[in-house]
Amino acid sequence: MEMSLHFDHAHLFRNQITMPRTPEQAYAELAGRLKQTTLLESCVSVLGWDEQTYMPPGGAAHRANQLSLLAGLCHERATAPEIGQLLSEIEGTPLVAEPDSPIAANVREARRDYDRATKLPRRLVEELSHTATLSQQAWIGARKQSDFNQFRPWLEKIVALKREEAQAIGYGKGVPYDALLDAFEPGMTAADVTRLFTPLRDELVKLNAAIAASGRRPNRDIIERRYPVDAQRQFSLAVAEKIGFNFDEGRLDVAAHPFCSGFGPGDVRLTTRYDEHHFPGAFFGTLHEAGHGMYEQGLERAAFGLPVGAACSLGIHESQSRMWENFVGRSRSFWDHFYPQAQQTFPEALSATASGDFYWAVNDVQPSFIRVEADEATYNLHILLRFDLERPLIAGDLQPADVPAAWNETFTKYFGMTPPDDARGCLQDIHWSSGGIGYFPTYALGNMYAAQFFVAASRDLGDLPAAFARGEFAPLKTWLTEKIHRRGKQYRAQKLVQIVTGQSLSPDSLVRHLHQKFDELYGL
């Protein structure tokens, strides 16, 4: 029995007198309910953003109570039996006969969300939520002391609960991991990811070995000079605006762990963090979040609250951030345009440095133990490593106790060096402690999507680097909005890629992009 389940009495009464409804009436009712739930969820976003940006330390306990109440109200609405009833009145009718129509897409995704939400027993949802809170606390302490044993029992608990979740959700003829991956990248399976990641891994290991063997190095000192925080902020704001983020409908604030949060039409919040002696952190971080933010700003306003008005998948979302961070922001032509402005903004750091040296410094490739500090060439290997461990963990083929050894072994294989401790190894990320197993692959998928989209955009728009060098970013932004943002969840990610690029997803574009950039820089 759901203690806090609410029934809309007036609604039931209306049903009684108007039954049977037409599918059109049922759809209108469904759409209204979905929109209201999304609107309520968007209130959660505001409280979550404030928690990460401005909330005083003393407000944490009360904020947790507020968020817990709102989460409960959202869950009630998302799992209301009326949703299932409405869906069953619509499915199979001519209203959804055309499978790619916006209505059919909304019904398809509403069914998916409803099934996922209702398949999980409330006991499991609560235990996962409770365990994640405690587990994150344990993880913080374990990482600080680099002591995996403190975290091991929690990882065991999390893995057990996520395996239970996979069973409850179901995975057809696939593997349990599919059910978890599907939460973040709907429709994608572990087999799909393996097929994409295996050739990528081979190429990346070779590329990075060649870069290391080249013996070439940029002058890293360039990006570690003094970049005053106020100037960084002004420059980041100016560039984010120039590439197309609309600050009349958004903001940039400071947060310890940068993120982007789209509250709804007209209000998208970016965050970053500044380090006076590390230029790339805040700057490329802002471009990254602005990429996410432009996706949110590009969603169809009239469809807010419906699946076709929401982002397609986490991987597609990440493709938009990586597009602007790496494919645009770390390109030579981008700096052809912006470097004079950067020199003006940071005269102390850059007045005596040539554009080409700066460009190389922000594209330095150097294996690191920490994922979030990784460069474009090594980053995906960090992701592949995590996928290599997650899949057997959920299959039961790898025990949580064996994670540190497995991590270090795989890391050494990929990077040619071994983490000196677990803090710089398997304890570095928050994801597993919070139950986010199945999330990591979307980062590398995002890079692949971005590469393939960039090739397609170049095909449609001509010489993009030449446009960037002239300071023209609107064509690419408009293309992304039309081809990707406006479509929301009309198509699942794999179909969207097929439609937009004419090909199914592959690692080829990404590998070609990396070779194109790094072969030149490192004389390969």
Name the site residues for a copy of itself (rule: CB under 8 A): 1-10, 13, 36, 39-40, 42-43, 46-47, 50, 54-63, 65-66, 69-70, 73, 246-251, 253, 263-267, 304
Cβ atoms of 36 and 82 within 8 Å: the answer is: no
| Beta bridge partner(s), residue 269 | 251, 261
- Comparison of 18 and 65: residue with beta carbon closer to a copy of itself: 65
Shortest distance, CB of residue 243 to a copy of itself, whole angstroms?
18
- Comparison of 2 and 520: residue with beta carbon closer to a copy of itself: 2
- Helix locations, 253-300, DSSP H: 279-298
Shortest distance, CB of residue 1 to a copy of itself, whole angstroms?
6
Shortest distance, CB of residue 66 to a copy of itself, whole angstroms?
5
| Beta bridge partner(s), residue 264 | 267
In whole angstroms, what is the distance from residue 133 CA to residue 158 CA?
11
Q: Catalogue the active-site residues.
A: 289
Cα(first)–Cα(last) distance of the chain, in Å? 65
Shortest distance, CB of residue 338 to a copy of itself, whole angstroms?
24
Residues whose CB is less than 8 angstroms from the CB of residue 470 and which lie 6 or more positions away in sequence, other chains included: 337
- Comparison of 55 and 175: residue with beta carbon closer to a copy of itself: 55
Place of tokens 């996706």: 295
- Comparison of 225 and 251: residue with beta carbon closer to a copy of itself: 251
Sheet order of strands, 260-264 included: 250-254, 267-272, 260-264
- Comparison of 39 and 209: residue with beta carbon closer to a copy of itself: 39
In whole angstroms, what is the distance from residue 308 CA to residue 310 CA?
6
Residues whose CB is less than 8 angstroms from the CB of residue 34 and which lie 6 or more positions away in sequence, other chains included: 106, 110, 305, 306, 307
Whether residue 20 is preceded by a cis peptide bond, meaning omega within 30 degrees of 0, is: yes
Shortest distance, CB of residue 306 to a copy of itself, whole angstroms?
15
Shortest distance, CB of residue 246 to a copy of itself, whole angstroms?
7
Query: What would the two tokens of residue 7 be?
Result: 């029934």
Burial class (CB in 10 A: 0-12, 13-18, 19+), 130: exposed
Shortest distance, CB of residue 125 to a copy of itself, whole angstroms?
17
Give whole-number Cα distances, 416 to 199, 209, 366, 385, in Å: 19, 8, 12, 13
In whole angstroms, what is the distance from residue 229 CA to residue 237 CA?
12
- Comparison of 61 and 256: residue with beta carbon closer to a copy of itself: 61
Q: Is the dihedral of CA 271, 277, 283, 284 positive or negative?
A: negative
457: nearest Cα among 443, 472, 478 = 478
In whole angstroms, what is the distance from residue 481 CA to residue 487 CA?
8
Half-sphere exposure of 147 (CA within 13 A, CB side): 9
- Comparison of 302 and 401: residue with beta carbon closer to a copy of itself: 302
- Comparison of 9 and 173: residue with beta carbon closer to a copy of itself: 9
Phi first, then psi, for residue 227 (nearest 5°) are -120, 95
Shortest distance, CB of residue 267 to a copy of itself, whole angstroms?
3
Burial class (CB in 10 A: 0-12, 13-18, 19+), 519: middle
Cβ atoms of 317 and 488 within 8 Å: the answer is: no
- Comparison of 118 and 410: residue with beta carbon closer to a copy of itself: 118
- Comparison of 77 and 386: residue with beta carbon closer to a copy of itself: 77
Shortest distance, CB of residue 244 to a copy of itself, whole angstroms?
15
Give whole-number Cα distances, 433 to 141, 394, 402, in Å: 12, 14, 16
Shortest distance, CB of residue 106 to a copy of itself, whole angstroms?
19
**Backbone Cα Rg of the chain:** 24
Cβ atoms of 178 and 195 within 8 Å: the answer is: no
3-class SS letters over 151-162: HHHHHHHHHHHH
